Amino acid sequence: MKTLPMINNISKPKFNLASREHQGEDTIINVKGVKIGGDHMTIIAGPCAIENEYQMITTAKAVKAAGATMLRGGAYKPRTSPYSFQGLEEEGLKLLKQAGDITNLPTVSEVISTETFDIVEAYVDILQIGTRNMQNFPLLKRAGQSKKPILLKRGMAATIEELLMAAEYIMSEGNHQVILCERGIRTFETYTRNTLDLSAVLAVRKLSHLPIIVDPSHATGQHDMIEPLSKASIITGAHGLMIEVHYQPEIALCDGPQSLKTDDFHHLMRELFFLHDHHLQLKRQIRD
Amino acid sequence: MKTLPMINNISKPKFNLASREHQGEDTIINVKGVKIGGDHMTIIAGPCAIENEYQMITTAKAVKAAGATMLRGGAYKPRTSPYSFQGLEEEGLKLLKQAGDITNLPTVSEVISTETFDIVEAYVDILQIGTRNMQNFPLLKRAGQSKKPILLKRGMAATIEELLMAAEYIMSEGNHQVILCERGIRTFETYTRNTLDLSAVLAVRKLSHLPIIVDPSHATGQHDMIEPLSKASIITGAHGLMIEVHYQPEIALCDGPQSLKTDDFHHLMRELFFLHDHHLQLKRQIRD
Amino acid sequence: MKTLPMINNISKPKFNLASREHQGEDTIINVKGVKIGGDHMTIIAGPCAIENEYQMITTAKAVKAAGATMLRGGAYKPRTSPYSFQGLEEEGLKLLKQAGDITNLPTVSEVISTETFDIVEAYVDILQIGTRNMQNFPLLKRAGQSKKPILLKRGMAATIEELLMAAEYIMSEGNHQVILCERGIRTFETYTRNTLDLSAVLAVRKLSHLPIIVDPSHATGQHDMIEPLSKASIITGAHGLMIEVHYQPEIALCDGPQSLKTDDFHHLMRELFFLHDHHLQLKRQIRD
Amino acid sequence: MKTLPMINNISKPKFNLASREHQGEDTIINVKGVKIGGDHMTIIAGPCAIENEYQMITTAKAVKAAGATMLRGGAYKPRTSPYSFQGLEEEGLKLLKQAGDITNLPTVSEVISTETFDIVEAYVDILQIGTRNMQNFPLLKRAGQSKKPILLKRGMAATIEELLMAAEYIMSEGNHQVILCERGIRTFETYTRNTLDLSAVLAVRKLSHLPIIVDPSHATGQHDMIEPLSKASIITGAHGLMIEVHYQPEIALCDGPQSLKTDDFHHLMRELFFLHDHHLQLKRQIRD
């Protein structure tokens, strides 16, 4: 009787620092008083791309009022086409910082190269490494030398194991403040932009002590799927969410169809607080 | 400037009877007083395979006590290997019927051929068409001639559109009592058995009036993922769940590693009732 | 250091009768004097669907003249939509038989249910089980009781191992005349209808003694890819090809865009004979 | 009747400079007298990673003797684990240059960051951008400012269109010397490391004037699949191949199981010359 070996697994990678075996307790990261991981729920919201002062400040105030705990905004945009809007770069970072100062929210923005790492690091509180760079190893190593937390998104065709190996790259350079992010994987399905893999949240919580959040905006590409999948993520055990919000999605320069309006975000936040409280109560009952 | 056409979509299929355009109101199916669809939550539970009287009755009583609204059990098992246990066939159906009678629960069992359709139809209340038969068109047509509801599972590599086209096959033969079931799709990820696609639930609710439930057991293949993903499914808007429960998973003849213990199922049910109530309250608030 | 187990492989299936360990020598199947397997090259050609006498006979004569060794034509068509042309059924089988008799070519046609197995078996020389039925186990078992060879196509999301397990189903019932067929798998790529997996041909030749052919028509869905991929298949070691040919693809009722014109098929055949001869010469050199 | 739109295609990217519409004639790149593209066959061979002088020089001489037209060797290695061998870096580049000088073969090596671009550019004749960096846009832009040709590998989950968009990034910065490389895509199949997509070669030749070669080593991960798939690639119309060759694969520091022995490579080269000649003859017959 014959069983096939899995040839593509001959040389399986291994992770150590990121594993539960290495550290049993959940990692909790503190950014200007906002805690990520463990029993804390982190909601990162803001526009896909920073477009101008009015857009950034208006959206920032709205998400703050709704209860978001961090502010996002893209200044360096990785775009499939060289002819698409590539972001405001340093000008955008300044606007994000300004919006963060006004609202007293820590900020998150994507860094897409080692060359621009210093400048992004200077302006923001958490540096995001995007899905296309999950295996950009020089960038991971540079992130490992930073003193600031890194938000590492799963590659669109990366296994859970490869995601944890990418975290290991950052940690092996000395930076243990890594937040993972499930953002949908590429499958044969064409109705949604990607396929959200919520079981990855459970797998990461079992295998690793690192916090993991979910990005429902990129996972689906559809604004009307964000609310239900955000709630599903929190109930599943995600440590938080990253959600694209725009004060007027119809005029967004980037990803308008998957952006939430500020009113809808406000409504969603109330739900998330309720579900997260319920989730924690239940967890405590089980512990006792 | 050049944009590629999608060659694999040249002859796009179309669905009509299954569409929201055709029928705006949710379809609600009534099986011996148990309602499926709309605001009702249907929980189908029971063993993967029916093994013997003790196992079937014990498990049936336990899931009934916990609050399940329907009873499942496999009598004809589609197995990858011809040398694996293929099910008790009619003997199994008798045990399922007996268990259904004792617990007063409607029953669901899989039918794998037109030849055995009549016999399964005679014993059970809902006939399941499994993932490997989602495009077994003669079987779909036979199901379309039945007076009993059909539980149609998504093919492991079927698009949402193909799932709805398969429902259309059944409906076009006259049987409009179709319940859809998301059970995970095949992706590159090897950590879970399949990848649960919760966005499919949202897509189906938008595109169709048919009820859609979720099978978290086959989606993940891991018993400790069932509770969180069941809750996530209900919060996302699924009309119910199908869950494999065994009174003693360690000795199950089939799918033991993904079966829930009866105690864990009991605990889960309380949570599901709570979340479903919350979901409905919220829906009513929005309506008002 | 941690390496993830592959949960989705816990209960790996096993094949025996289909394995090289069980039988070292290539299986060679003889259908009315036409040999399939080993050093023989089998070219099965004909229309996707049988439409009428003129179309069937005209195409049959043309593919015979070009050097095809078998004739194909669909009488029972598995279609994604219930509203698409479903085939001429028995009427089509009669036309196929007539065309086979005129051209003295053995015939191949798809069987889609156990109920219609007998009738297809009565008219054709080889029965095809299509991609959507690769795990239709009752159909596989019925095929295993036939005296005629079975052409088994790989499921669109089936692993190589599952393909061999499906062959094992047929063989375990007593029919060892199984011809496998790689026809493209479903991936994220949308430019082609499927993605042709030529490494599957190599894997099957290593793991099994059964012949394996390639269907480039369904693999790509594009007529201008058929010639190069047919040649590539023969050079890779496939035992033959199944190609959709239509005397006038523009008016085909099914799969016109992926059908070859008879002239182009004629040109292709000359190339295939040359490459196959070359392939054999080389093999003999290595043996000596 | 309802047909689903493809949501994940809302904002389709576009390519221009890379398109056949923009330039009808095949691009032919000249590197130290070796031509790539059009009717030329380019065979790039050498070790996965440069390990030491003896290994590099021995392998270089062997592949030269066999007929390779270019020499490859990795000095900066992108590895899934931070604990795996990461390459000899500049020391490796010196050995590669030395081996190129001795054998009079142009050299190819991977560049993995903008920071190390200058140093790789100084030593090698063609710079490779690997599968994990296909959408590393800062790296693509830097490559676009180079005077040397760029070998751009397809991302493991990149569509054909995204590959051409990545080439467009390089070209839009001024460097029109881009060679594309199909190296297998990630699918559900676990028997091979990736799934080689030969239809991508045909698609690229139709859509673009840029040369495209195939890497069968990474596509399959299995040394015994390299010969047949190399031949299949040339017959399909690929402009060449990149093959991992090691003088002693058993002791390779990286990718030993998918490396060809020098003897086997020698044998393969004779076959490739024969098939390429045949391919060209045929092409000329069709033209005349």
Dihedral angle, C-alpha C132, C134, C137, C140, nearest 10 °: 120
With a pLDDT cut of 90, the percent of chain C lying above it is: 86
Q: Structure tokens of D227?
A: 């010969």
Q: pLDDT of A176-220, one tens digit each?
A: 999 999 999 999 999 999 999 999 999 999 999 999 999 999 999
pLDDT per position as a tens digit, C205-247: 999 999 999 999 999 999 999 999 999 999 999 999 999 999 8
The pLDDT of residue B7: 44
Q: Which of the residues C182, C199, C233, C274 would you substitute to probe the D interface, choosing the one with the greatest number of D C-beta atoms within 10 Å?
A: C199
Among candidates D156, D169, D193 on the partner chain, residue whose Cβ is nearest the Cβ of A7: D193
The pLDDT tens digits of the residues spanning C161-199 come to 999 999 999 999 999 999 999 999 999 999 999 999 999
Q: Biggest alpha carbon distance in chain B?
A: 69
d(CA D17, CA D29): 16
| Residues of chain B positioned with their CB less than 8 A from the CB of C156 | 157
Dihedral pair phi/psi, residue C74, rounded to 5°: -95, 130
Query: CB of C213 within 8 A of CB of C181?
Result: yes
- DSSP string covering C145-196, please? T-SS-EEEEPPTT--HHHHHHHHHHHHHTT---EEEEE--B--S--SSSSB-
Residues in chain D with CB shorter than 8 Å from the CB of A168 are 81-82
Report the DSSP beta bridge partners of residue D129.
Answer: D152
Task: Write the DSSP assignment of A36-83 as a string of letters.
Answer: EBTTB-EEEEE-SB---HHHHHHHHHHHHHHT-SEEE-BSS---SSTT
D interface test, pick of B16, B188, B189, B193 with most D CB neighbours within 10 Å:
B188
Q: Could you tell me if C120 and C92 are in contact, meaning their C-beta atoms sit under 8 angstroms apart? A: no
The counts of H helices and E strands in chain C are: 9, 10
- Residue D10's pLDDT is what? 40
Per DSSP, D89 falls in state: T
Exposed / middle / buried, residue B192 (Cβ in 10 Å: 0-12, 13-18, 19+)? buried
Q: How far is CA B96 from the centre of its chain?
A: 17
If you average pLDDT over every residue of chain D, what do you get?
A: 93
**Res B67: pLDDT:** 97
In this model, does residue C42 exceed pLDDT 70?
Answer: yes
What SS3 state is found at C216?
helix
Single pTM value for the model: 0.94
Alpha carbon of residue A239 to chain centroid: 10
Paired sense of beta strands C29-31 and B107-110, if any? unpaired
Question: Which candidate, D6, D44, D37, places its Cα nearest to that of D177?
Answer: D37
First to last CA, chain D: 49
Q: How many angstroms separate the CA atoms of C45 and C99, rounded?
A: 12
Question: Are the C-beta atoms of residues C235 and D232 closer than 8 Å to each other?
Answer: yes
Assign domain A36-287 to its CATH superfamily.
Aldolase class I (3.20.20.70)
Contact A64, A100 (CB under 8 A): no
Mean pLDDT of C279-287: 84
D51 vs D249: CA distance, rounded Å: 12
Is D280:D239 a contact under the CB 8 Å cutoff? no
* pLDDT string in tens for chain B (288-residue length): 455 544 444 445 589 999 999 999 999 999 999 999 999 999 999 999 999 999 999 999 999 999 999 999 999 999 999 999 999 999 999 999 999 999 999 999 999 999 999 999 999 999 999 999 999 999 999 999 999 999 999 999 999 999 999 999 999 999 999 999 999 999 999 999 999 999 999 999 999 999 999 999 999 999 999 999 999 999 999 999 999 999 888 888 888 888 999 999 999 999 999 999 998 998 888 776
pLDDT at residue A42 above 80?
A: yes
Q: Which residues contact residue C166 at a Cβ distance below 8 angstroms, ignoring those fewer than 6 apart?
A: C134, C135, C140, C152, C155, C158
Compute the distance between CA of residue A110 and CA of residue C16 in angstroms, rounded to an integer: 53
C-beta atoms surrounding B23 within 10 Å: 14
Q: What is the dihedral of CA C204, C208, C209, C212, to 10 degrees?
A: -20
- Among candidates C227, C213, C231, which has minimal Cα distance to C263? C227
C253-282 pLDDT tens trace: 888 888 999 999 999 999 999 999 998 998
Domain boundaries, chain A: 36-287
Closest CA–CA distance from residue B201 to any residue of chain A (Å): 10
DSSP state of C2: B
pLDDT at C287 over 80: no
The residues that bridge with B117 in the sheet, in sequence order, are: none
Q: Are C244 and C210 in contact (CB under 8 A)?
A: no
Q: What is the pLDDT of residues D65-89, one digit of tens each?
A: 999 999 999 999 999 999 998 999 9
CA A116, distance to chain mean position in Å, is 20
Gap between the Cα atoms of A78 and C3, Å rounded: 32
ipTM: 0.93
φ, ψ (nearest 5 deg) of residue C34: -90, 125
Q: What's the full length of chain B, in residues?
A: 288
Assigned token pair, C95: 């036309």
Of the candidates C25, C24, C68, which has an alpha carbon nearest to the alpha carbon of residue C273? C68
Among the partner-chain residues D115, D186, D257, the one whose CB lies closest to the CB of A138 is D115
C-alpha distances in Å from residue C152, one per residue of C21, C92, D114: 21, 21, 50
Q: B103 to chain A, minimum CA–CA distance in Å?
A: 29
pLDDT of residue C257: 86
Task: Give the three-state DSSP class for B7.
Answer: helix
User: What is the pLDDT, as a whole number, of residue B258?
Assistant: 87
Question: Quick one: closest CA in A to C194, which residue?
Answer: A188
The beta-carbon neighbor of D7 closest among A133, A172, A193 is A193
Distance in angstroms (rounded) separating the CA atoms of residues C125 and C97? 9
Asked if A259 and A55 count as a contact pair (C-beta separation under 8 A), the reply is no
Question: From B208, which residue of chain D is nearest by alpha-carbon distance?
Answer: D2
At D1-13, the pLDDT tens digits run 455 554 444 445 5
Q: By a Cβ cutoff of 8 Å, what residues of chain A touch chain C?
A: 1-4, 6, 9, 12-16, 19, 21, 157, 160-161, 186-188, 190, 207
Which chains reach chain A with 3 or more Cβ–Cβ distances below 8 angstroms?
B, C, D
Tell me which amino acid residue C47 is.
P
Cβ–Cβ gap A3/C19 under 8 Å? no
Pairing of β C126-129 and β D150-153: unpaired
